[in-house]
Structure 1
Amino acid sequence: MKYQFYLLFFFQSIIFAQVKNSYSLVEKQMRLISVEQSKSTKEIANYIKLSFKGEELQIKAAYFHVISTISYDVNYNFSTELFSSDEDFVSKTIETKKGVCIHYAKYFKSIVDQLGFQCQIITGYTKLNNQIGNLSHAWCTIKMKDGKWYVFDPTWDAGYVKNQQFVRNIISKHFKMLPSTAIISHMPFDYLWQFTQEPISNREFYNGKAYENKPKRNYDYQVEIDKYLKLSEIDKAFESSERIQENEIINDLILEQYTYMKNVFNVSRYNKNIEKFNEVIEDYNVAIVLLNDFIIYRNKGFTPVFSDAILLEMIKTPTDKLENIQKEVSLISSVGKENAANFNELKSSIAESVKQSQEQYNFVKDYISKSKKDRKKMVNKVIWSGKLIK
């Protein structure tokens, strides 16, 4: 009887051949790790550091530990961990000892991070035997001491699913793949992670060959990666979405990732704008209190008497603050329809307050330039006062 085996990238079904196990020495030592030493990735990494020397052995130990202890969860509900932090994600994986590709990837990355190596998670889609996977996949990449990036897929090396049951079958076929090998079966959504000067398009991945007479690009991926890793999460999402779109959106998986990255960017920008909006309100209220204090003082005929320098500073401080606040609020692009009315009210209040503070500032500059006799003629009550924003 012939059996069909299923590789584990979410629930995509494909046949693969077993590769000879090359983990004998690592396996022997890693199987000795105790339950107490496996409660966190930090403890696992400490055990590995004590047991193995050299980056490749340490990375292999981390890889083996993940693929030998985590079972593929064929019944996983993707909605249950949508908003979990990476720490909670990994902790739950350690506790339950099961998951799908993203659990394998995050667990492996967490251990590798603790070992002190540079590791990133890549998301994309796959192809085997000329068949495109119908669900997204996640794997890892590590920049090793030789300065090169290598690709690791712990999910595909952990085992397979047969009759809706996970069968552990540890192999090393997808350990430390060259990018040129990985790209045959693993297509990143973001071409940045192809690690090549000539990234292929999604259509080329589908076709299994490059376009004829394709112009040379000489894409400096390492420079671009270095730039990318320094960006904020908002800017990372934006730049990644731009590259995804540039590389053609030709299937639902790519569209879903593109939409997700755009949403990350839009939501992050929105949250940042709301945070800035609230900061501006706080700063505005402080400035209004200072402006009102000055107006009260002026309404009292500038009594008690202070020096001209102090008098000028009393109005200059809120004036400077309000002018700076007006610049800051102009940089806020969107706060959502539900906050639009309050946002417009704030901008209007700031504009009026800036106008009033400037008038008061100009008055004081003129006032302190006069003699005491002329100053008495200038003192009159000012009834305007700024309104606090809640």
Structure 2
Amino acid sequence: MPRLLFLFFFLPLVLQAQAQSVPAKATPVVSALAIPSAQTKTTQALATYLNSHLETEEDKVHAIFFWLVSNIAYDVKTFTNAPLYYEREALIRQTMATRKALCQGYAEVFLDLCTKTDIQAHLITGFILPKGTAKPMTHAWCAAQVNGQWYLFDPTWGAGFVENGVFVKKLNPRHFKVSPAEMIKTHMPFDPLWQLLEQPVSYQQFLSSSPTTLKPKTVFAYKDTLKAYASAAEKARLVGAIRRMESQKVIPPVVLEQLNQSKKNLAVFRKNEAVDLFNTAVSAYNKGIDGLNGFIRLKNNQFKTAKREQDIRQQITGHKKYFSEARELLQRLHPLDNTSLLLSVQSLHQKVAEGLQEIEKQEKFLEVYFSTAPARRHTLFYRQAIAERQ
């Protein structure tokens, strides 16, 4: 049964104008700008170069950020016709090949390079309030752990700004290694976890308050949640994000759209899990049937090729476990997670039950067989054959 293709939600953004000057002390490191062009065709080649020339996480993340903002331009033309969905690896390859991207492309490349240089990082999706408007716009940026401390990075805003429909390249290091307390003034993650704050700001506070007046009261042990997140499977991460988004008293439309998409993605996970469980149950059932058929062939030959009692019993008990395994898997499966499996699941339930009944019947035969004197055992085969015909 084919697996469903899992696609991600695409989040475009027009850059906010940034007028700040670049402090001299934040000038990009030489290694970020002097990398041979042959080593920048792919993220793997670039990461290999960085790993061989830089040792610390600080230097690596610095090189990644400033290489990205120096070499990738904001794709203004694509913004107006941006697709709603994308495939991650394809977007990364496209960004590296064209040297153009929207915010999602910047963030995906940043994340990929961090991952390949052994820096723990996460792509964050959320929304911002562009200057001069109260209408939120979706955006993507990143978090990365450097020397045990989490920081936030926005390579899109760090690359420049859009003015009169034209991208103006202007490196802005203010968006490199931003503290969570500073980032929340302009960037609101959909998942409150990625505010990285012990007192997270609500969506409503972000939309209605001046950044300097945000005074949340809720205490959130985000560090503990991050530890659990790091070891969790992708489905569990998605379930947690949905729960945290739904915990907000007021969910604005921009968040509701992402929440609905997250629930659709969760449904895809559940459908795929149902398919996997069903296929595994089918495999276990087939092994049980193969073993049962082997026993029947042995029995039809009156066990002439298996003289020892232990060997004969093993022919049936050794394969009973597969029917039990199939039954246990089917009990774990929730067919409503994938309604196309309803009839198949019901049918397999019945076949497994029949298989277990047949195993039980053959086990009873063996009890009688081994309690009968060897000289008279051959008569049991004929008696059972006659009984089965009646």
Q: Deviation per CA, 1:27-49, whole angstroms, max 9, x where unpaired?
A: 65543333212122243344445
Structure 2, unaligned runs of 5 or more: 1-10
CA distance in 2, matches of 1:272, 1:258: 21
Aligned mates of 1:361, 1:71 — CA distance in 2: 73
- Name the count of aligned residue pairs: 371
The whole-number CA distance in structure 1 between the counterparts of 2:232 and 2:41 is: 32
**Residues 130 and 136 in structure 2, CA contact (< 8 A), matched pair in contact too:** no
Give per-residue Cα distances to partners, 1:321-343, cap 9 Å, x unaligned: 21221111111112633332122
2:28/2:62 contact within 8 Å kept: yes
Q: Determine if contact 1:120/1:140 at 8 Å carries over to the other structure.
A: yes
Percent of residue pairs identical: 26
TM-score, normalization: structure 1? Answer: 0.85
Report the equivalent of 2:4.
Answer: none
In structure 1, distance between residues paired with 2:306 and 2:189: 71
Contact 2:17 2:163 in 1 (8 A): no
Offset, 1:13? 6.4
Distance 1:16-1:26 versus aligned 2 partners, 3 A rule: closer
Contact 1:26 1:57 in 2 (8 A): no
Give the aligned partner of residue 238 of structure 2.
237
State the AA in 2 paired with 1:190.
D
Change (3 A) 1:323 1:112: closer
TM norm structure 2: 0.85
Partner of 1:95: 97
Q: In structure 2, what is the equivalent of residue 265 of structure 1?
A: 266
**3-state SS of the aligned residue for 1:173?**
helix
Q: Distance in 2 between matches of 1:305 and 1:15?
A: 83
Aligned to 1:378: 380
Q: Is the 8 A contact 2:130 2:137 kept in 1?
A: no
Q: Classify 1:356/1:16 alpha carbon distance in 2 versus 1 (closer, same or farther; 3 Å).
A: same
One-letter code of the match for 2:174? Answer: K
**Cα 1:279/1:249, change in 2 over 3 Å:** farther
- Which residue number corresponds to residue 70 of structure 2? 68
Contact 1:234 1:268 in 2 (8 A): yes
Whole-angstrom distance in 2 between the partners of 1:383 and 1:130:
91
How far has the Cα of 1:162 moved from its partner?
A: 2.1
CA distance in 2, matches of 1:18, 1:25: 14
Q: Cα gap change, 1:307/1:35 in structure 2, threshold over 3 Å: closer, same or farther?
A: same
- Distance in 1, Cα, partners of 2:387 & 2:185: 72
Rounded Cα–Cα distance in structure 2 between residues aligned with 1:108 and 1:210: 29
Q: Find the residue that maps to 1:227 and give its secondary structure.
A: helix
* 1:97-130 deviation digits (Å, cap 9, x = unpaired): 0010011111122222333221111111113558
Describe the SS at the equivalent of 2:197: coil
Please report the RMSD computed on the Cα atoms of aligned residues, expressed in angstroms: 2.7
Structure 1 residue aligned with 2:120: 118
Deviation by residue 1:294-330 (Cα, 9 ceiling, x = unmatched): 2343344444552211111111122222122111111
Q: For residues 231 and 59 of structure 1, what CA distance do their matches in structure 2 show?
A: 25
Q: For 1:84, give the aligned amino acid.
A: E
1:79 alignment partner AA: P
8 A contact 1:101–1:137 mirrored in 2:
yes
Give the direction of change, closer, same or farther, for the CA distance of 1:318–1:267 in structure 2 (3 Å limit). Answer: same
| Structure 1 position 84 matched with structure 2 position 81 | no
Q: Give, as a single letter, the amino acid of the residue that structure 2 aligns with 1:157.
A: G
Letter in 1 for 2:21: V
Cα distance in 1 for partners of 2:386, 2:254 equals 63
